[in-house]
């Protein structure tokens, strides 16, 4: 889901909520702007340039909002669109996301604190970053003015001791702040800091996610404009829900073509509409998902078949031909230097495969592809940095990558002595890969 910087990201700020404030009347339009940054902490080469972040809320009826989030810029821009219902409890806000059918806790443009006094404390349910049933401790820590409006600054942290674990990750740091206007409960600013370790991912990557948004404008739209946006938005959500259901049902790339066609029909009907950019972004997402599914199917179908032939140059200028490795088991690895899992994988490939396994039975062949710059320069620097001695081939035009159905980095295949693919998987599952290699050698 690299495209889905979901509304939870923009509003994970959002766990900061207290009791629901007076719901906005229909047509109230709030625009927040700020920045979002996600940094990989356990990779000294990784850095994250903050991405622009904009969140638009349009109240279409009391307690219901169309929420439009845009992150990034240019070709790296990601757009998300949600229709959220509000149900309030004494201490938190819970939104039911009609698009995905899930529950997310998020911030609304207006909040009403249950205890509006300096030093007040209370507890409420935590957001989606923490395990189900978790609680947050809220505290009004100070008073501060934002744009000449007096605010309560609300600070929230998990009630339980950190770190805490979910099914997929370990939460090491979790902090939220919101600046709530004293006069009417408008949220003028919100920030979040989240540090997590993904326990099931290779190398257990640790990320820091920081978000900062501030209210830039608030306006009342006409009843006619609100109605037009609602009609267009609900039509777009209907098409979006079909796409979401297709993904959950495991639709293949051909089935997703129907969802793409539905989006194109929507765009033709509402050409130039307020949410045309959202529809265009979702259409691109579907096409990208189609490409991934098509390549994944191709990769899986290779198992049990002869490995596609190729003839490419190596980083040292020599020609690499797969036929030259016939009679040995080959571990064929596809990588890119910008890929963080590839950087974590490289030393293991060198030490546990290239150096340890007998050369008369085994060969490691690593192919650099999909670079965002001069491939030779980047691959050479990568080899020097990690002191690699194995062969690195250069797939400069991407042909080999396409022939093998590579859709993610790294991708590893095991080819037996007869040239038949016996293992193919995106990612680096070291235990499964070692088993496949050793079984092929013993065969």
* pLDDT tens-place string over residues 20-75: 345 667 888 999 998 888 888 876 655 567 788 888 888 887 767 788 777 765 55
Highest mean pLDDT among 133-147, 157-171, 219-233, 380-394: 380-394
Angle between the N-to-C axes of helices 253-269 and 276-301, in degrees from 0 to 180, rounded to the nearest 10: 170
The pLDDT, as a whole number, for residue 48 is: 64
The more confidently predicted of residues 15 and 345 is: 345
Sheet holding 421-426, edge to edge: 391-394, 362-368, 329-335, 411-415, 421-426
The pLDDT, as a whole number, for residue 84 is: 62
How crowded is residue 1: how many other Cβ atoms within 10 Å of its Cβ?
Answer: 8
Answer positive or negative: Cα dihedral of 199, 201, 205, 209.
negative
- Section 365-391 average pLDDT: 93
Percent of the chain past pLDDT 90, that is, above it, reads 35
Instruction: Using alpha carbons only, give the angle 75, 81, 85 rounded to the nearest 5 degrees.
Output: 160
The pLDDT, as a whole number, for residue 199 is: 73
The pLDDT, as a whole number, for residue 59 is: 85
Q: How far is CA 117 from the centre of its chain?
A: 38
- State the Cα–Cα distance between residues 119 and 160, nearest whole angstrom: 20
363 pLDDT above the threshold of 90: yes
| C-alpha dihedral, 141 to 147 to 148 to 150, nearest 10° | -30
| Residue 261 token pair | 């066609």
Three-state DSSP state, 200: coil
**126, 156 Cβ separation under 8 angstroms:** no
The residues that bridge with 219 in the sheet, in sequence order, are 29
The pLDDT, as a whole number, for residue 65 is: 78
Q: pLDDT (tens digit, 9 = 90+) per residue, 202-239? A: 567 888 888 888 999 999 999 999 998 888 888 887 87
- State the Cα–Cα distance between residues 201 and 191, nearest whole angstrom: 27
Confidence of residue 200 (pLDDT cuts 50, 70, 90): low
The pLDDT, as a whole number, for residue 86 is: 53
Q: pLDDT (tens digit, 9 = 90+) per residue, 407-441? A: 889 999 999 999 999 999 988 888 899 999 999 99
The pLDDT, as a whole number, for residue 91 is: 31
The pLDDT, as a whole number, for residue 351 is: 94
Its pTM stands at: 0.67
Q: How many H helices and E strands in the chain?
A: 8, 20
The more confidently predicted of residues 295 and 159 is: 159
Q: pLDDT (tens digit, 9 = 90+) per residue, 252-289? A: 767 777 778 888 888 889 888 888 877 887 887 788 88
352 pLDDT above the threshold of 90: yes
Q: Which of 40-44, 140-144, 188-192 is the least confident region?
A: 40-44
- State the Cα–Cα distance between residues 40 and 192, nearest whole angstrom: 17
The pLDDT, as a whole number, for residue 57 is: 84
Q: What is the mean pLDDT of the chain?
A: 81
Instruction: Using alpha carbons only, give the angle 303, 307, 308 rounded to the nearest 5 degrees.
Output: 125
248 pLDDT above the threshold of 90: no
Percent of the chain past pLDDT 70, that is, above it, reads 81
The pLDDT, as a whole number, for residue 214 is: 93
Query: Which residue in this structure is represented by tokens 């990320």?
Result: 207
Cα–Cα nearest to 399, from 274, 308, 324: 308
Q: pLDDT (tens digit, 9 = 90+) per residue, 66-122? A: 887 777 655 555 666 666 655 433 333 333 333 333 333 345 677 767 778 899 998
The pLDDT, as a whole number, for residue 148 is: 92
């Amino acid at each position: 889901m690299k495209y889905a910087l979901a509304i939870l990201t923009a509003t994970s700020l959002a766990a900061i909520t207290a009791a629901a404030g007076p719901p906005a009347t229909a047509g109230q339009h709030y625009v927040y702007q700020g920045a979002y940054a996600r940094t990989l902490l356990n990779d000294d080469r990784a850095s994250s340039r903050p991405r622009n972040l904009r969140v638009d809320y349009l109240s279409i009826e009391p307690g219901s909002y169309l929420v439009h989030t845009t992150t990034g810029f240019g070709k790296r821009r990601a757009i998300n669109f949600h229709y959220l219902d509000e149900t309030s409890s004494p201490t938190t806000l819970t939104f039911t996301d009609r698009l995905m059918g899930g529950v997310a806790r998020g911030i609304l443009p207006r909040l009403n604190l249950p205890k509006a006094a300096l030093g007040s404390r209370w507890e409420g349910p935590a957001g989606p970053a923490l395990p189900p049933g978790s609680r947050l401790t809220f505290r009004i820590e100070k008073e501060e003015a934002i744009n000449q409006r007096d605010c309560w600054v609300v600070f929230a942290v998990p009630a339980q001791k950190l770190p805490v674990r979910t099914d997929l990750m370990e939460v090491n740091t979790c902090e939220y702040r919101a600046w709530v206007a004293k006069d009417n409960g408008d949220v003028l600013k919100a920030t979040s800091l989240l540090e997590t370790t993904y326990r099931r991912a290779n190398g257990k990557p640790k990320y820091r996610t920081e978000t900062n948004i501030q209210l830039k404008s608030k306006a009342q739209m006409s009843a006619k404009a609100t109605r037009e946006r609602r009609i267009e938005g609900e039509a777009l959500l209907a098409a979006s829900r079909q796409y979401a259901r297709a993904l959950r049902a495991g639709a293949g790339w051909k089935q997703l073509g129907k969802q793409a066609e539905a989006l194109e029909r929507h765009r033709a009907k509402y050409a130039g509409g307020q949410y045309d950019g959202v529809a265009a972004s979702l259409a691109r997402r579907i096409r990208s998902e189609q490409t991934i599914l098509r390549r994944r199917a191709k990769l899986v179908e290779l198992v049990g078949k002869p490995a596609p032939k190729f003839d490419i140059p190596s980083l040292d200028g020599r020609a690499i031909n797969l036929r030259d490795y016939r009679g040995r088991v080959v571990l064929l690895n596809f990588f890119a230097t910008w890929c963080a899992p590839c950087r974590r994988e490289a030393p293991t490939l060198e030490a546990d495969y290239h150096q340890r396994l007998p050369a008369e039975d085994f060969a490691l062949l690593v192919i650099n592809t999909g670079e965002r710059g001069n491939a030779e320069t980047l691959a050479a620097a990568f080899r020097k940095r990690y002191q690699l001695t194995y062969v690195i081939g250069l797939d400069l035009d991407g042909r080999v990558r396409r022939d093998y159905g590579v859709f993610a980095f790294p991708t590893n295949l095991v080819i037996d002595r007869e040239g038949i693919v016996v293992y193919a998987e995106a990612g680096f599952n070291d235990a499964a890969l070692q088993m496949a290699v050793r079984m092929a050698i013993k065969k």
